[in-house]
Amino acid sequence: MKKAVTIFHLYYTCFIYVSHRHNSFFFATLKEKEKEVNLMRRIFIGCAAIFTLLFGSLVQAATFTDVGPKYERAVDQLVSNGWVNGVNTTQFGTDRPLKRLDAAVIVARSLQIEPSDYRGASSFTDVPTNRAWAVNALHEQGIINGKTSTSFAPDATLTRGEMALILQKAYKLPRGEKLPFTDVGIRYETAVSALVRANITSGLTSRSFGTDASIRRGEFALFLYRAQEDNDPSTIEPPVVVEIN
């Protein structure tokens, strides 16, 4: 929505400017007219370039062929905000399992964490350098952990239980009431109850949350969308910036 407003303002400004210049165009000399035409051409090219950058993600979000009505609004917002991309130009990968590293990057972006604030290699030896900033930031804030002290397992599938821990800690969601699920252990109890309390998600059945089940990209987009709906990132205390050497 913010990008749509920005696009409208951009083109409205261009229209007003060109209209103003057009009024004096007929009274100009031939040489002045040539300069004016070149100037207006550059203005329109610049506006078109900015329009493409701003509107590109909106178009992409609307053209995924595998995003149904259930996930459409969530995917549209996450893609439009630049938090996540599709697996290709026509598919979001709605039913594909979400990788742990992808989840870290998406959440870090949703919290408006700047990559430049967390430079340096990760303490985990298996995290790619270009995405280490996201893992560094979330790990330092206690939002996400590795599988071991040296391995993050970036390509491993994120489970529903891990998803609950990440979103509850990232958005500081308060604990809910006692759960009816029989597959939620002590480690996940607070996080799962918080998500249920906030109406972010419920169980796979009335008795099972599916703690160890893999979470799909569409589900994660929907849960993150619901989590940040009532928790504007601008109201969340920013992480303490500590440069990692």
pLDDT, tens digit, for every residue of 160-170?
999 999 999 99
Arithmetic mean of pLDDT, 27-48: 56
Q: Which amino acid, residue 81?
A: N
Q: 122 pLDDT band (50/70/90 cuts)?
A: confident
Arithmetic mean of pLDDT, 14-38: 55
Q: Is the pLDDT confidence value at 103 over 90? A: yes
> In the chain, where are the structural domains located?
1-63, 66-235
Q: Is the pLDDT confidence value at 195 over 80? A: yes
The closest of 244, 203, 201, 204 to 226, measured between CA atoms, is: 201
Q: 121 pLDDT band (50/70/90 cuts)?
A: confident
Look at residue 120 in the predicted model and tell me its pLDDT.
80
pTM, two decimals, is 0.71
Q: Is the pLDDT confidence value at 150 over 80? A: yes
Distance CA 116, CA 133 (A): 8
Look at residue 161 in the predicted model and tell me its pLDDT.
97
Q: Please list, in sequence order, all residues whose beta carbon lies within 8 angstroms of the beta carbon of residue 83, skipping any fewer than 6 positions away.
A: 106, 109, 110, 224
Alpha helices (runs of H) in 1-155, residue ranges in sequence order? 2-25, 30-63, 69-80, 100-110, 132-140
First to last CA, the chain: 38
Q: 119 pLDDT band (50/70/90 cuts)?
A: confident
Angle, vertex CA 104, rays to CA 176 and CA 89, nearest 5: 115
Look at residue 109 in the predicted model and tell me its pLDDT.
97
Q: 37 pLDDT band (50/70/90 cuts)?
A: low
The closest of 98, 80, 239 to 155, measured between CA atoms, is: 98
Q: Is the pLDDT confidence value at 181 over 70? A: yes
Q: Is the pLDDT confidence value at 70 over 60? A: yes
Q: 206 pLDDT band (50/70/90 cuts)?
A: very high
Arithmetic mean of pLDDT, 72-96: 95
Distance CA 163, CA 5 (A): 32
Look at residue 229 in the predicted model and tell me its pLDDT.
83
Most confidently modeled range among 37-46, 88-97, 236-245:
88-97
Look at residue 51 in the predicted model and tell me its pLDDT.
44
Q: Which amino acid, residue 215?
A: I
Is 132 in contact with 101 (CB distance < 8 Å)?
Answer: no
